[in-house]
Amino acid sequence: MFEEGQYFAPVNTDADGTVSVELGENHPGFADADYRERRNAIAALALDWQPGDPMPTVAYTDAEHEIWRLVSAELAVKHRDMAVRDYLGGAERLMLPRDRIPQLAEVSRALEPLTGFSYVPAAGLVPLRDFYGVLAEGKFHATQYIRHHSVPLYTPEPDVIHEVIGHANALAAPRFAALYRVAGEAARRVHSEEALEFVSRVFWFTLEFGVMTEADELKAYGAGILSSYGEIDEFRGMTIMPLDLGTMGTIDYDITKYQDKLFDAGSMDQLEDVVGEFWATCDDDAVERLKAEVKNR
Can you say which residues are annotated as belonging to the binding site for Fe cation?
162, 167, 208
Characterize the bridge pairing of strands 118-121 and 239-242.
unpaired
Contact of residue 125 among ligand TIH, Fe ion, none (CB under 5-8 Å per partner type): none
* Active-site annotation holder among 162, 185, 228, 231: 162
The set of residues, in sequence order, having a beta carbon less than 8 Å from that of 118 and lying 6+ positions away, is 108, 111, 112, 138, 139, 140
Strand locations in the chain (E): 11-13, 19-21, 118-121, 139-142, 211-214, 217-220, 239-242, 261-264
Q: Which residue among 124, 224, 246, 249 contacts ligand TIH (CB under 6 A)?
A: 224
- The C-alpha atoms of residue 268 and residue 289 are separated, in whole angstroms, by 25
Contact of residue 227 among Fe ion, ligand TIH, none (CB under 5-8 Å per partner type): ligand TIH
Q: Which residue among 101, 227, 249, 268 contacts ligand TIH (CB under 6 A)?
A: 227
Using only the alpha carbons of the chain, give its radius of gyration: 18
- The C-alpha atoms of residue 131 and residue 288 are separated, in whole angstroms, by 22
Q: Which residue among 27, 38, 148, 162 contacts ligand TIH (CB under 6 A)?
A: 162
Amino acid at position 82, single letter: M
Contact call for residue 155 and ligand TIH (CB under 6 A)? yes
Please work out, in degrees rounded to the nearest 5, the angle formed at the alpha carbon of residue 166 by the alpha carbons of 225 and 3.
70
Q: Which stretch binds ligand TIH (CB under 6 A): 50-58, 62-70, 99-107, 224-232?
A: 224-232
* Active-site annotation holder among 27, 79, 141, 167: 167
Q: Which of residues 130-159 bind Fe ion (CB under 5 A)?
A: 158
Contact call for residue 145 and ligand TIH (CB under 6 A)? no
Query: Is the CB of 230 or the CB of 269 nearer to ligand TIH?
Result: 230
Positions in the binding site for ligand TIH (CB under 6 A): 7, 154-158, 161-162, 208, 224, 227-228, 255
